[in-house]
Structures are given as structure tokens and as C-alpha cells.
Amino acid sequence: MSNPNRSAITTVKVRPMAYLALAASIVGVVTLASALSAFFCLQFLSQVLDVVAAAPALGSELNAILAGMYKNLFIILAAIVVIVSLLVAVVLYFQLSRIVGAEFALNRHVREKLLQGDLSPVTLRKGDFFHELAANLNRFVAKTKGGGGSAS
């Protein structure tokens, strides 16, 4: 009866690629939204440039000023897109490492200790998620130890 439980537990796998795909999707959406915002700002300024160019009475000096503004705005918006994308990527990396690390530690503990009969408690890093799950697993193991029903 313990063999089906053990085989069910050992089929649990760490899925870091799923978390990385989710992170890449979020970074992609944020980058796309930032790039689209920058594109529309530049389109608006481009239309202003066209209006100024079509009105020769405004002079070439104003046209040169607006062309410089266009160039500066392009550089600023490109930098914002890159910075926002990098910030989102860094935040996602640290948040996902808290999930993936905890999942890895829990699975490794079940695979390498509990299935071998070692009923020592599982420990997670301080900032990891799933501390409540680890505490519940530790309570279960302690109850199993105390009841004399430890698996070997």
C-alpha cells in the first residue's frame, strides 16, 4: 500500500521552465506595452513636425527645435522601454526564484529523505514561499513519528 503513494510522490517534478516561460511572457507584455506607448508618443510628435514643416511662416528655427525634441524624445522613450523591461525582469527573477527554490527544496526533501525513511523536518530559505506547506509537512512527519507509523 505504501508503494502507490511513493510512486505518486516521486512523479512530482520541478517545473522551472514553466515559471521561466511565465516570466518571459510578463516581460514581453510589459516591453510591448512600453514600446507601443513610446511609438504613439513619437507618432504624435512626428505629426507635429509635419504640421510645422507644412507652415513655412513658422520658420525653420522652430522646425529645427522640434526635430531636436523628436530625437531627444526618441532616446528618452527607448531608454524607458529598456529600463522598465529590465526592472520587470529583475523583479520577476527574484520572485520566481522564491517559488522555484521552495518547490525544489520540498520535492528534494520528499524524494531524498522521506522516501528513504529519514523523517527529518524540511527547511526552506528565509524569503521563500510555501513556508506554510513546509510547516504542514513537518507537522505530518512529526505526527507520523510520534504515532510509530514511520515508513522505512
Residue-level pLDDT at 6: 47
Residue-level pLDDT at 122: 86
Tell me: pLDDT of 4 over 50.
Answer: no
The Cα-based distances of 109 to 7, 21, 87, 99, 128 in angstroms read 15, 25, 33, 15, 15
Mean pLDDT for 101-107 is 84
Q: Which residues make Cβ contacts (< 8 Å) with residue 103, sequence separation at least 6?
A: 14, 15, 130
Domain count, the chain: 1
Range of the domain at 76: 2-146
pLDDT digits (tens, 9 = 90+) for 23-76: 778 888 888 888 888 888 888 877 877 777 777 776 777 777 877 887 888 888
Please report whether residue 133 resides in a domain. yes
Residue-level pLDDT at 16: 61
Please report whether residue 108 resides in a domain. yes
Mean pLDDT for 9-24 is 61
pTM confidence score: 0.58
